[in-house]
Amino acid sequence: MRRKIAAGNWKMNGLTASLTELDTLAARFPKPGCDVLICPPATLIAPAKARAGSIAIGGQDCHTGVSGAHTGDVSAEMLADIGASHVIVGHSERRDDHGESSELIEAKAEAAWRAGLTAVICIGESLAQREAGETLDVLTEQLAQSTPDGATAANTVIAYEPVWAIGTGKVPTLAQIGEVHDALRGQLEARFGAEGTGIRLLYGGSVKPSNAAEIFAVSNVDGALVGGASLKADDFGGIISALEAA
């Protein structure tokens, strides 16, 4: 059985005072029935780790190199050094805002493994691609090109995020989510065999306490990568509880 994951991506949100939300979550879920991961801004990773309890802390991005003349960048080794256990790579906002290619994301995933981190590799289609009937073709290509050959159930999590659903309140139908997750599972198993069966698949895109339970009941959905709803303990706690019950 694949252990479920509730992952929260705080994006460029949060100051020191925001860690009180993490305190509330840690107190509410001292021994959660699923894995819980929070990825705060890099400025908060170290203090978050110090007070997270059973909640894992991760980064939102990493450079491919160990060190060097890369002003403003953070290496996977630096993230691991301050207590991170995971790092998100290939989020649609990195692909779009920073022009990151699937080949670069593959290199970032390898960098995460080099530092002992679990890579949370994101893939997703745009609204235009969805409406053109290209969803599965786009996702198949992104998954193939963004995931290195060494992917295992221990070092890799895949997050499917329909770009058009992130922060918009729009959510694909349950049938659409299931179609994508079943196809991704088949692709992972065909490429990685038993490891592909064990690699966890998260859904991301306007997941809220009100829709979490029905999404988690969909085939091959092993949890969620949550944006805005992860910023508040009450909202994210409701999602965690729904996943525990799934």
Mean of the per-residue pLDDT values of the chain: 97
Output the pTM of the full model. Answer: 0.97
Model confidence at 231: pLDDT above 90: yes
98 part of the active site: no
Domain spans in the chain, listed from the N-terminal domain onward = 5-245
pLDDT computed for residue 166 by the predictor: 80
Which entry of 21, 77, 86, 91 is annotated as an active-site residue?
91
Model confidence at 169: pLDDT above 90: no
pLDDT computed for residue 158 by the predictor: 98
Q: Which spans in the chain are helix H?
A: 19-28, 45-51, 76-81, 92-97, 102-114, 127-131, 135-146, 174-192, 194-198, 209-216, 233-245
Tens digit of pLDDT for each residue in 113-167?
A: 999 999 999 999 999 999 999 999 999 999 999 999 999 999 999 999 999 888 7
49 Cα distance to chain centroid: 18
pLDDT computed for residue 85 by the predictor: 98
Average pLDDT over residues 211-225: 98
Number of H helices, E strands in the chain: 11, 8
- Report d(CA 169, CA 239) in Å as an integer: 16
Model confidence at 39: pLDDT above 90: yes
Tens digit of pLDDT for each residue in 70-80?
A: 999 999 999 99
Q: Which amino acid is at 34?
A: C
Percent of the chain with pLDDT over 90: 95
Which entry of 21, 93, 161, 181 is annotated as an active-site residue?
161
189 part of the active site: no
**Which CATH fold topology does 5-245 show?**
TIM Barrel (3.20.20)
